[in-house]
Structure 1
Amino acid sequence: MAFEFDVPDYKKIRVIVDTDAACEADDPFAIAHALLSPKLIVKGIIAEHFKVPGSMEKSYDEIMTILDAMDLEVPVYHGQKGPLGQDTEVSEAVSFIIDEAKREDDKPLFILCQGAITNVAKALQVEPQIKDKITVIWIGTHGEAPCTAPFTEFNSVNDIEAANFVLQSGANIWLVPSHVYITVNIGLSEIQRRISPCGRIGQHLFNNMVDYNNSEGAGWTQGESWSLGDSPAIAIAINPGCGHYHEAVAPLVLDDTSSAVKEDNPRIRIYTDVDSRYILEDFIAKLEIAYGNNR
């Protein structure tokens, strides 16, 4: 990797990437972004379910495919197999979160959540004291309450119990709601021209996106573009100032994913926008430096 700059060691942070990687086509872009970013010490990647039987295992397999395409080795862990109330076992991913949070290390630990938030909720349920040792950046919910759901927000609806458990836990939460994460737009033509030439990982990202865009599951999309909605979790970890935010009372997520007021909920950080130019260009530049024109 030929970066001609250094990140001072004291500015580096530990991260765990929590991802439902096989659900749609944007998670793989975010995973690759994290792995390419020298500020982020990726301690592990954990597979998240998306409320379909076998979905966690599919996410695990997609993570392994990404690592193979990047010629990288990073610890990968199986997460909970389903929502918080349905899976009573403690997965290896949850044990890993707890162990890493309790580890003595002067570098802060961020958990970058790109799907349902079941794994983090389970870890906090098993070891509540780790709430003071982690920062959770979550792509999810419709944001500050009160807010009627303009559509069913996918990441929160896949485990509403876990969403509310984490939001009420008192952990340091940085929330990236739907009206923010949908703004990171990229055209399929740009992915073809700028990303697909970048090694096996670039080709995988493009092919995976095209395949999903043509599937029945993508019937809601516009046809030749996509929102890389998971990527803000990575970019904010790299640069918390790449968007505007404020503190507000954490929302209560209702069954239809509307945000309701619950006055005794703790205050959290809620992003109101992100710099999509920075997010996309930072990722593409890193990909070009590392794998450009090298299939």
Structure 2
Amino acid sequence: MKSMSISDSRRLQMLEWREGILDTVLDTDTATEVDDPFAVSYLLLSPERFQVKAIYAAPFAMNERTQDPAAGMEMSYQEILRIMKLCGKQGCCEVKRGSCSYLPGKDIPVESKAALDLAERAMCYSSDNPLYVIGIGAGTNIASALLLNPEIRERIVIVWLAGNDFTESPNTYNVYQDVKAAQVIFDSGVPLLHVPCNYVTSHMLTSVPELESCLGNRNDLCDYLISIVKAYGKEHFAWGKTIWDIGAVGCLMDKDWSIREITTAPIITDELTWSRDYTRHLIGNIKEVNRDRIFRDAFLKMGCLEDRGK
């Protein structure tokens, strides 16, 4: 991708913490795992912080639910609609189908309704008032929008749950199934806040007893979230489930709920390793999230929905 003239000082300014309501779009492979529905719900139920403009369905495959990214994208699209209904948020924002395939090359965008929407929507924003793009899935929709319209790099902040901490391998689900898209995002120069899996959002661990205590018998959304966690594991005694994706939302909720650093953007190699070149552009990287504060806030919002039958 041809580099843009955005300076590190401008990039750092865009990565600074912002108070108030953030205009946001979410890119999510909602049906791939149980953590996405928690993140989607949390985002939709936090209007004091997020004005959700659109939700994009991301492709996924390479797991027991599907081996076809097109099928995974459609499953995610339908799951987004399900979660919106359970949250009482039908029609609150646009929902767009994303790519049916992964990025085939670093200069080859995959056109989809999601990518085209982001490439157009972001033009209404600026470096002083950016659109926040939260990514919790494979990166093709976001990378394609960057390739279709490179100018949006000066108008958006990407918050992407992608690889592990830079002391570990980037070989995580959101990266290894869609390597070229990950390389585009890290190489693009876009203001990027990387949210690692190990050993950051891996701390977002809960259990069936905790969920039943905090969310049990509250409403249909809570019942559904508990049920999908229960279905994920056969034995629930002394067993925990990581809700990775909720950390990408939680780190934007309150300045004190995460610790971040500024560092140079690493390179994702074709061999799925991090390579460091300390002359590259700067990005943000989350080093720690406050597990208890994020879950407490999310559970209170989920549990306070109108009770069934009222």
Amino acid at match of 1:101: A
CA contact (8 A) 2:97 2:114 kept: yes
Match of 1:199 in 2: 219
Matched residue of 1:138: which SS? strand
Match of 2:118 in 1: 97
Question: After alignment, is 235-244 or 107-116 more displaced?
Answer: 235-244
Gaps of 5+ in 1: 1-9, 216-220
Distance 2:184 2:109 in 1: 15
Distance 2:96 2:281 in 1: 30
Residue 197 of structure 1, CA deviation: 2.1
Per-residue displacement from partner, 1:30-82 (whole Å, max 9, x unpaired)? 00000000210010111011133111111111111111222212321101112
CA contact (8 A) 1:142 1:257 kept: no
Per-residue displacement from partner, 1:119-147 (whole Å, max 9, x unpaired)? 11000011001011111111111233xx3
Going from structure 1 to structure 2, the CA distance change for 1:148 and 1:229 (only over 3 Å counts) comes to closer
Query: Identity of paired residues, percent?
Result: 24
Match of 2:25 in 1: 16
Is 1:47 the counterpart of 2:53? The answer is no
Amino acid at match of 1:260: S
Amino acid at match of 1:49: P
Distance 1:213 1:252 in 2: 35
Going from structure 1 to structure 2, the CA distance change for 1:81 and 1:265 (only over 3 Å counts) comes to farther
Per-residue displacement from partner, 1:6-28 (whole Å, max 9, x unpaired)? xxxx8111111111111111100
Matched residue of 2:44: which SS? helix
Question: Where in structure 2 are the equivalents of 1:204-243 lying within 5 Å?
Answer: 204-214=224-234, 224-243=239-258
Residue 289 of structure 1, CA deviation: 2.2
Going from structure 1 to structure 2, the CA distance change for 1:289 and 1:163 (only over 3 Å counts) comes to same
Match of 2:291 in 1: 276
Going from structure 1 to structure 2, the CA distance change for 1:125 and 1:202 (only over 3 Å counts) comes to same
Going from structure 1 to structure 2, the CA distance change for 1:249 and 1:56 (only over 3 Å counts) comes to same
Residue of 35, 48, 51 corresponding to 1:26: 35
Is 1:162 the counterpart of 2:184? The answer is no
CA contact (8 A) 2:139 2:174 kept: yes
TM-score by length of 2: 0.83
Residue 159 of structure 1, CA deviation: 0.9
Residue of 264, 267, 281 corresponding to 1:266: 281
CA contact (8 A) 1:167 1:265 kept: no
Instruction: Give the paired residue count.
Output: 278
Gaps of 5+ in 2: 1-18, 62-66
Question: After alignment, is 13-22 or 73-82 more displaced?
Answer: 73-82
CA contact (8 A) 1:136 1:173 kept: yes
Residue 148 of structure 1, CA deviation: 4.5
Match of 2:193 in 1: 174
Residue 198 of structure 1, CA deviation: 2.6
Residue 286 of structure 1, CA deviation: 1.1
Matched residue of 1:11: which SS? coil
Residue 193 of structure 1, CA deviation: 2.2
TM-score by length of 1: 0.87
Match of 2:81 in 1: 64
Question: Where in structure 2 are the equivalents of 1:113-128 lying within 5 Å?
Answer: 113-128=135-150
Residue 196 of structure 1, CA deviation: 3.4
CA contact (8 A) 1:186 1:227 kept: yes
